[in-house]
Amino acid sequence: CDFGDGNFSTATHPNNTYHSPGQYLVELIATDELGCLDTTRNTITILEEVFVYVPNAFTPNGDRHNNYFSVSAINLTEFHIVIFNRWGELIFESKDTNFQWDGTFKGIPVPDGTYSWKINYTSINHDNKEITGFVTLLR
């Protein structure tokens, strides 16, 4: 198998890791027990890595550890997060991937509890996604 990136394999079930995005022409040549050959080719596209990590808890208690709710994201071109309380009231929103929510609403600390969030984003690969989840706030 020629993976199109300079790597080759003669394994029955070959695999490969692509280290750079791009298009690669993959060619597989199979031989049966009688020596008959068959070849197939296909171009695959490896996209840029896209990563969104959202923690599930934070502790805005002023101890300088885990005081803010924030996300880690790689290769997003658009981003929007909204956070709601248990009654569905919007208490925080941001369009900045580097946001930090300190656990307040209108300057007043919100109570301990579970808050729902929704993130809409567009990746560098032009994928539009919506993800949802919960974050627990503990003081």
Q: Which residues of 50-73 are buried (b: 16+ CB within 10 A; e: fewer)?
A: bebebeeebbbeeeeeeeebbbeb
Q: Looking at the chain, how many residues does it have?
A: 139
- Reading the block at residue 58, the tokens are 């934070």
pTM here is 0.79
Q: Which of 131, 132, 110 is nearest to 58 (CA)?
A: 110
The fraction of the chain above a pLDDT of 90, given in percent, is 91
pLDDT tens digits, one per residue of 81-138: 999 999 999 999 999 999 999 999 999 999 999 999 999 999 999 999 999 999 999 9
